[in-house]
Amino acid sequence: MEEMRIQKYLSECGVMSRRNAEDAVMRGRVEINGKKAVVGQKVVPEIDEVMVDGIIIGQNKNSKKIYMMMYKPAGIVTTMSDEQDRVCVADILKSAQIEERVYPVGRLDMYSEGLLILTNDGEVANKLMHPKNEISKIYHITLKGELSQDTIKKLSEPIEVDGRMTSPAKVEIIELKNGKTKLRIEISEGRNRQIRRMCENLNLIIIKLKRVCIGKLNVGTLKPGQFKYLNNNEINYLKEL
């Protein structure tokens, strides 16, 4: 059988995007035949044993593709298992009794809430995660204090994240009331903790951070802890990205 790089293998298994797979390998979470994997290492599907966080991963091209969205509550970890025994996304999904493994596409940090896409379709996950596709993400954020227009303008400007400058964000006021500012922020990169870093850069205090949209998908009427399967129109949108 043909060899493939470990990042591609994990992506095609629907475990995570290639970018997240590379990060998982570097963090020592991935093993090949009982040994820690290295970035770029190749595997032979159905022959080599691949494990992520101690769980054996298998590639089954005939497995049913699952597409879901969830309203992740604040305080929940965006993983399918947690070595510190914190409540994670997998705990919320237990009631769904899904036969296939699904994995979150990208992450929301533990203290943020809102829309999360889950699937076992590695190709779709890659499309959503790859920076070149510039999939917009919209957040509603509540900040302490009634911010000035000058501060709001500065919030939209590029900042440095992990050694690279971000693209400008689109920032609009939703409400200024009772010593708080509620904003709509749209970004297209989704760099690590980008919204929080934008606020930290200006010493702004976040009260609530909620992701409401990923591309054309909206969290809609879902409440914290709720999830649903995507309909055909939503699935076709993801596949056609």
What is the DSSP track for 19-75? HHHHHHHHTT-EEETTEE--TT-EE-TTTS-EEETTEEE---TTSPP-EEEEEEPTT
Confidence of residue 192 (pLDDT cuts 50, 70, 90): confident
Q: Look up residue 211 and give its DSSP letter.
A: E
Helix (H) or strand (E) holding 197: helix 194-201
Write b or e for each residue in 178-211: b if 16 or more Cβ atoms lie within 10 A of its Cβ, otherwise e.
Answer: eeebebebebbbbbebbbbebbeeeebeeeebbb
Instruction: Check 23, 82, 91, 109 and give the catalytic one.
Output: 109
Lowest mean pLDDT among 12-16, 146-150, 221-225: 12-16
Known catalytic membership, residue 109: yes
Is the pLDDT score of 60 beyond 60? no
What the block records as the tokens of 64 is 């049913």
What's the pTM? 0.79
Is the pLDDT score of 53 beyond 90? no
More confident position, 184 or 17: 184
